Amino acid sequence: MSDVNNALYLLQNKTRRQILERLAREPHYPMQLSELIGVSQPAIVKHLKELEDGGMVSKTKVPSKKGGPPRTIYAVEKAMSVHIDIGPDLFRCEQRKLPTYGPMRLSTHLPPASIPIAESLSGRKKIAVAEGLAHMRSLASLLEELDAQRDALISLHQHVRQRVSAAVETDFESYEERSIIQSMVEANGERLDLTALVQQELMASGSPGEVLDALRSRLEKQIARRSGQVIAAPLNTELRWYLG
């Protein structure tokens, strides 16, 4: 199971989300989680096992304050972000690992307005609640601005994709051809194994070489026709890498 599929599977369950919300604040014992969430302890333990197997939480044995056997306490294991964007001509689903280094090293990647906050944290392991609230209000505002910019970029990406899809629908007759072209578009310029892609779409029918030749010809003619540019190239020219 891929990282993003694993994350979506684990997060789809409400109880597991509630467990993670509590563990994000501080480590908890299974009995604590059972009482706070209102779910039986065996069910909590089962969910914790799934979260642990999925790499989202870790467990530690700690001495009992009452002198009994050691108790198992759970904490969030890793920081990550899951992005899902869905709409017409839009499907993006990815998991991103958040950086783990300190505030000053982060500052080279931060917006200018947030750098003073990173500098104020340097060398300090604890800050007062009031100071933390002020910093978090500022960061929440900055995050809202970045989210608005991201939303606009995703929307622009969707507009580009819609226009590409309209041209693909007009210029390529078969479903297999359109599917191959859409896979190339979705690769965002990454180098693909085009022969393997064609073989997958053809389902053992047709010649991959002939299909690639036909697609190459149609793509280059499409560029010339729709952009007004003339393309001069030998017949054995590979598909342009900016097309996939």
The reported pLDDT for the residue numbered 195 is: 77
Sequence-ordered alpha helix ranges (H) in the chain: 3-11, 14-25, 30-37, 41-53, 103-106, 115-121, 129-171, 175-186, 194-202, 208-227
How far apart CA 42 and CA 86 sit, in angstroms, is 36
190 vs 94: which has the higher pLDDT: 94
142 vs 227: which has the higher pLDDT: 142
The stretch 117-138 carries a mean pLDDT of 94
114-144 b/e with 16+ CB inside 10 Å = b?
Answer: beebbeebeeeeeeeeeeeeebeeeeeeeee
pLDDT in tens, 176-234: 888 888 888 887 767 777 778 777 777 656 677 777 777 777 777 777 666 666 655 55
Instruction: Say if CB 118 and CB 107 are below 8 A apart.
Output: yes
The reported pLDDT for the residue numbered 238 is: 54
Average pLDDT, the chain: 86
The reported pLDDT for the residue numbered 188 is: 74
Q: List domains and CATH numbers for the chain.
A: 3-78 (1.10.10.10), 100-156 (no CATH), 172-243 (no CATH)
The reported pLDDT for the residue numbered 131 is: 95
65 has a pLDDT exceeding 90? no
46 has a pLDDT exceeding 80? yes
How far apart CA 180 and CA 43 sit, in angstroms, is 45
pLDDT class for 69, splitting at 50, 70, 90? confident
pLDDT class for 151, splitting at 50, 70, 90? very high
The stretch 113-133 carries a mean pLDDT of 94
73 has a pLDDT exceeding 70? yes
The stretch 165-182 carries a mean pLDDT of 85
The reported pLDDT for the residue numbered 121 is: 93
The stretch 35-64 carries a mean pLDDT of 95
Range with the largest mean pLDDT of 87-101, 126-140, 201-215: 126-140
Predicted TM-score (pTM) of the model is: 0.76
How far apart CA 158 and CA 169 sit, in angstroms, is 16
As a whole number of Å, the end-to-end CA separation of the chain is 26
